[in-house]
A = this chain, B = another copy of it.
Amino acid sequence: MSDTNRVFLLAERPDGRPDEDTFELAERDLPTPGPGEALVRTLYLSVDPYMRGRMDARESYADPWGVGDPMEAAVVGEVVESNGAGLEAGTVVTGELEWADYATAPGTELYPIDPELAPISTALGVLGMPGRTAYFGTKEIAQPTAGDTFVVSGAAGAVGSVAGQIAGLQGADVVGFAGSDEKVQFLEDELGFDAGINYKTTDDYGAALDEAAPGGVDAYFDNVGGPITDAVFTRLNVDARVAVCGQISQYNATELPTGPRKLATLVETRATVEGFLVGDYQPRFEAATRQLGEWVQRGQVQYRETVTEGLENAPDAFLGLFEGENIGKQLVKVAERDVRSRGL
């Protein structure tokens, strides 16, 4: 094992779209776990759109990252050394760590995962935060039922791909917006969506929706905002529900000269638009993960991962989220699991 550690720091706050100046890959000494802590070697690192918000100085539900500080991420890693953390070396855990090869954390904040149950990377995707976000946003906010038409944007992403399948399991007709023919094929052929719309090759989202969902939209799971959401808003049915999960098309905007428009459609439809944060459902995480695990094991929920190799490529993986380069969960593979490290 190397005695140095590579850590990505937030070099400067981006003005609009992050770029290479946003990130600094620093060499640091290998950290030493304090009492009750463990040293964890990163195996998989999760990059997620919400991280864009943490790059800004503005206070929000997740604290801003400090300039010059390590950037945080959900990680699946392997315990290398425990200093009374109650975890054996070699245990695979997940937790909020850093964009780094190694990090330390209190044992109480590291959650062992069972590598026999599912591939360990799923703890960052379908069985992790994105899966649970899809679960609660669909079941509690968008609430599709049999016969409903459910539309999801960012449909081929980590959250959208699961949300659409859960809606399908409730008996809804499912339409997804995604950004390539390959993704649309993935939605229709692998995930069982009723229709996919490639928004990058479609001029008129409204017309495409009218074709795919001629009866209008009863439930909408919004990951992207912008013109796709405009089109859906004007096609909401009476008592429709909109779950606002993300607005990735807006995160890099330096200016939003206009605000909510087309809200008049909500009056006509008595529709509800509701934001949600998966963290509010913490007491029900275990039950949700168990349900998702059962669906995955039975093949009722499929998942896809896009894996970028190497910690040094984490910024590219992150930036690719805003270009829609991933299908399913975007991960960074930092290291292979190495059982020999147990003896360290």
Residues of A at under 8 Å CB distance from B? 60-61, 222, 225-227, 229-231, 233-234, 244-247, 250-251, 256, 258-277, 280
Contacts and interface: CB of A to CB of B under 8 A. Distances in A.
Given A258-B258, A260-B225, A267-B247, A274 B276 contact: no
Q: Which of A247, A259, A260, A265 has the most CB of B within 10 A?
A: A260
A323 B247 CA distance: 34
B268 A275 contact: yes
Contact of A274 (B233, B260, B270): B270
Q: In the complex this chain forms, how many copies of it are found?
A: 2
A259 B227 contact: yes
A21 B60 CA distance: 51
9 cross-chain pairs, A with B, having the tightest CB-CB distances, nearest first: A230-B259, A266-B275, A273-B273, A267-B275, A247-B264, A272-B274, A244-B266, A259-B262, A256-B261
A273 B276 contact: no
12 contacts: A60-B268, A61-B268, A225-B261, A225-B264, A229-B260, A244-B263, A247-B263, A256-B262, A258-B258, A263-B275, A267-B277, A272-B273
Contact of A276 (B245, B247, B270): B270
A246 B226 CA distance: 22
A264 B246 CA distance: 6
Contact of A260 (B60, B263, B280): B263
A272 B274 CA distance: 4
Contact of A245 (B260, B267, B269): B267
A250 to B, nearest CB: 6
Given A227-B259, A259-B229, A264 B250 contact: yes
A229 to B, nearest CB: 5
A234 B263 CA distance: 16
Contacts of A262: 256, 259-260
Nearest to A262: B259
A152 to B, nearest CB: 15
Given A233-B260, A260-B260, A261-B258, A266 B270 contact: no
Given A269-B275, A275-B270, A275-B271, A261 B264 contact: no
A229 B268 CA distance: 18
A230 B260 CA distance: 6
A211 B270 CA distance: 32
A214 to B, nearest CB: 15
Nearest to A263: B244
B260 A261 contact: yes
Contacts of A277: 267-268, 270
